[in-house]
């Protein structure tokens, strides 16, 4: 709210608040929360559902999830909030204590899971969302909290950078292709990822309420019990195998019959690289090649034996192959130079290895450092020279003995060729039949795993910013994470609605890039569309008879965005007429 000196009136910044409110209402956030949360008997003022709705508008509009500034922000937007919501909004509805109580309500696992189920079901029904593909993945957040018995959430675990840090974990299940989160589990940072997939999958199934879903996840989803659970749920999985850990030697065994026959493997192309006239695509445009084999599988799940046929898709990514082969050649050169430096010519300042055990240990260390075990033939011989030195004064005569090892190194070309052949191959496992998931479809489906990473990027980015975390209590932190995943749902929904509308129109959205108004995009992000609403203000002129309200005129770009999102422009115009 801005007062105008010498003028009995004030201005409130409106910006994207009506748009955010419209999307939150479409999602049913307020009604779902109020039906799932029974506040304390002494609760007065706005209901928890309305408090959380307005708080989410603050989180997304002000790009700040801290509790402290919310009360002041509400005071600065009182008229806008009252006219949007139709509620008697007061700044005292948004004190730190009120917001903390809301976090406690959202923390309760039984209550939260019921809210999540209702919200996911509503979104699927309201927008007729495709539920063919479900993605599972986990991420971590690092905090600076002091460790202690009061924390069951913040625990020391291995972070993505390989270091051990105090952290928490989020396990998410999301729908393709919009990246809409259905289920989120917040767990302690010292837990392994593997056991988190089954509970998340089972909860997502209660929302989707269908069979035949393709469940996609990373290699940590490839544990046998997870795959068997998905089979038992009459669904299909697609996951890269953690074969180096669980089935070492499997890849080598599968590739052995194919060495020298790579040209016979099935080529995989992006849809846009296939000619529209039905002719064969250019082999140089292929992004991968592969083949498949089948095998029977068996596992016990909750005392029940599950039997199924599993397809192993052995895929070679050409870009990954070139990267690994270049890395291998670089490591070979580095290792060869390091081998030469082990036994230098005798000269001042060059120390010699004095015994065979030290030499062999140094060779093994180099092979391990550069990951070239078995790729070199090494041979060594000992050269000893002795020189008699006469006695002088009180020093007796002696024999000076000098030792030098000669190390000869040659590359094991056969092993190197085998290593280059294995570069870029990876095993994917699925129980989906070929008519539902072909080799090419599997590759393209897994390539879309970045959708899940987009959710994590948003949660860990500047807008939602789950880290750094300033809340100290575990229950408040978990409630906040649940709150922020509702905001992430809104962002994903905005992406989806705009992209679907533009695809239907076969047009692009222009006017959302600062400094380049003519630049268009068919895949605008919600963040970019929200930014286009900056500068909309509400002028409020009080009067003893009736106050008057004047809103900044909406631009054509802003009206187009509202239309793409399925929102009415009256969300804005009603602020000056309602």
Q: Each residue of 389-432: pLDDT tens digit?
A: 777 778 887 777 777 888 889 999 999 998 999 999 999 999 99
Q: Which two tokens stand for residue 215?
A: 């469940």
How far apart CA 177 and CA 174 sit, in angstroms, is 9
Pairing of strands 537-541, 236-240: unpaired
Is the model's pLDDT at 454 over the cut of 60? yes
Q: Which two tokens stand for residue 495?
A: 């992406």
Helix (H, G, I), strand (E, B) or coil at 507: coil
Residues 6+ apart with CB under 8 A from 106: 52, 112, 115, 478, 479, 480, 482, 483
Helix (H, G, I), strand (E, B) or coil at 417: helix
Q: Determine contact, residues 534/561, Cβ cutoff 8 Å.
A: no
Q: Give the chain's end-to-end CA distance (angstroms, integer).
A: 19
In Å, how far are 29, 138, 501 from 484, measured between CA atoms?
A: 13, 16, 26
pLDDT in tens, 369-379: 999 999 999 98
State the pLDDT at residue 307: 95
Q: What is the DSSP letter of 262?
A: G
- b/e burial code for range 191-214 (CB count within 10 A of at least 16 → b): eebbebbbebbebbbebbeeeebb
Residue 578 pLDDT class (50, 70, 90 cuts)? low
Residue 437: strand pairing partners: none
Residue 98 pLDDT class (50, 70, 90 cuts)? very high
Residue 95 pLDDT class (50, 70, 90 cuts)? very high
| 155-164, long-range: CB < 8 A, 24+ apart | 155/188, 155/189, 155/190, 155/191, 156/189, 156/190, 157/188, 157/189, 157/190, 157/191
Is the model's pLDDT at 359 over the cut of 90? no
How far apart CA 67 and CA 263 sit, in angstroms, is 60
Residue 35 pLDDT class (50, 70, 90 cuts)? very high
The HSE-up count of residue 517 (CA atoms within 13 Å, CB side) is: 3
Is the model's pLDDT at 574 over the cut of 60? yes
State the pLDDT at residue 395: 83
Q: What is the residue-averaged pLDDT of the chain?
A: 89
pLDDT in tens, 482-537: 999 999 999 999 999 999 999 999 999 999 998 888 899 999 999 999 999 999 99
Is the model's pLDDT at 451 over the cut of 80? no
Q: Which two tokens stand for residue 135?
A: 């993605």
Residue ranges of E strands in 412-529? 425-430, 509-510, 520-521
- The candidate with the shortest Cα–Cα distance to 165, out of 183, 149, 143, is 143
Pairing of strands 520-521, 509-510: antiparallel
The HSE-up count of residue 498 (CA atoms within 13 Å, CB side) is: 28
Residue ranges of E strands in 143-213? 155-158, 164-175, 180-188
How far apart CA 21 and CA 562 sit, in angstroms, is 12
Answering whether pTM is above 0.95, one says no
Pick from 52-61, 237-246, 419-428: least confident:
237-246
* Most confident option among 37-41, 77-81, 260-264: 77-81
Is the model's pLDDT at 4 over the cut of 60? no
Is the model's pLDDT at 80 over the cut of 90? yes
- Give the rounded percent of residues in the chain with a pLDDT score beyond 70: 97
How far apart CA 134 and CA 180 sit, in angstroms, is 10
For the beta sheet containing 548-551, the strands, ordered from the edge strand earlier in sequence to the opposite edge, are 2-3, 10-13, 537-541, 548-551
């Amino acid at each position: 709210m801005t007062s105008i000196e010498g003028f009995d009136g004030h201005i409130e910044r409106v910006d994207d608040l009506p748009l955010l409110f419209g999307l939150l209402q479409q999602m049913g956030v307020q009604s779902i929360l109020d039906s799932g949360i029974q506040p304390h008997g002494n609760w007065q003022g706005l209901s928890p559902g309305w408090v959380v709705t307005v708080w989410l508008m603050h989180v997304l509009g002000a790009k700040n999830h801290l509790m402290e500034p919310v009360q002041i922000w509400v005071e600065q937007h009182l008229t806008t909030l009252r006219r949007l919501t139709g509620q008697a909004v007061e700044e005292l509805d948004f004190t730190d204590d009120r917001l903390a109580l809301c976090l406690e309500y959202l923390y309760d696992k039984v209550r939260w899971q019921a809210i999540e189920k209702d919200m996911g079901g509503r979104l699927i029904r309201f927008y007729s969302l495709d539920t063919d593909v479900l993605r599972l993945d986990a991420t971590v957040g690092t905090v600076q909290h002091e460790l202690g018995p009061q924390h069951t959430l913040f625990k020391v675990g291995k972070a993505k950078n390989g270091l051990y840090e105090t952290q928490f974990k989020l396990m998410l299940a999301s729908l393709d292709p919009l990246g809409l989160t259905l289920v989120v589990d917040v767990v302690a940072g010292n837990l392994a990822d593997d056991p988190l997939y089954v509970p998340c999958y089972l909860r997502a199934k209660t929302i989707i309420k269908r069979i035949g879903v393709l469940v996609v996840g990373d290699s940590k989803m490839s544990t046998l019990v997870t795959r068997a659970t998905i089979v038992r749920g009459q669904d299909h999985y697609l996951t890269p195998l953690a074969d180096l850990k669980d089935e070492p030697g499997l890849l080598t065994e599968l590739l052995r019959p194919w060495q020298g026959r790579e040209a016979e493997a099935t080529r995989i192309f992006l849809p846009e690289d296939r000619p529209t006239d039905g002719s064969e695509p250019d082999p140089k445009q292929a992004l991968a090649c592969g083949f498949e084999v089948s095998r029977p599988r068996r596992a016990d799940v909750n005392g029940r034996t599950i039997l199924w046929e599993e397809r192993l898709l052995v895929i070679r990514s050409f870009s990954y192959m070139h990267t690994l082969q270049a890395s291998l050649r670089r490591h070979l050169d580095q290792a060869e130079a390091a081998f030469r430096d082990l036994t230098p010519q005798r000269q001042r300042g060059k120390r010699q290895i004095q015994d065979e055990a030290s030499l062999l240990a140094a060779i093994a260390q180099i092979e391990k450092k550069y990951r070239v075990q078995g790729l070199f033939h090494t041979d060594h011989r000992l050269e000893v020279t002795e020189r008699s030195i006469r006695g002088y004064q009180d020093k007796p005569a002696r024999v000076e003995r000098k030792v030098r090892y000669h190390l000869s190194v040659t590359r094991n070309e056969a092993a190197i060729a085998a290593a280059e052949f294995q570069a870029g191959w990876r095993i994917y496992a699925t129980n989906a039949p070929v008519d539902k998931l072909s080799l090419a479809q599997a590759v393209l489906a897994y390539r879309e795993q970045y959708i899940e990473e987009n959710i994590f990027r948003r949660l860990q980015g500047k807008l939602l910013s789950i880290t750094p975390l300033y809340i100290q209590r575990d229950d408040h932190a978990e409630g906040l994470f649940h709150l922020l995943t509702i905001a992430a749902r809104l962002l994903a929904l905005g992406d989806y609605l705009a992209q679907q509308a533009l695809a239907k129109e076969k047009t692009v959205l222009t006017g959302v890039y600062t400094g380049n108004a003519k630049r268009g995009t068919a895949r605008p992000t919600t963040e970019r569309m929200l930014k286009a609403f900056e500068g909309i203000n509400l002028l409020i002129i009080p009067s003893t008879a009736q106050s008057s309200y004047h809103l900044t005129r909406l631009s054509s770009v802003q009206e187009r965005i509202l239309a793409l999102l399925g929102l009415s422009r009256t969300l804005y115009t009603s602020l000056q007429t309602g």
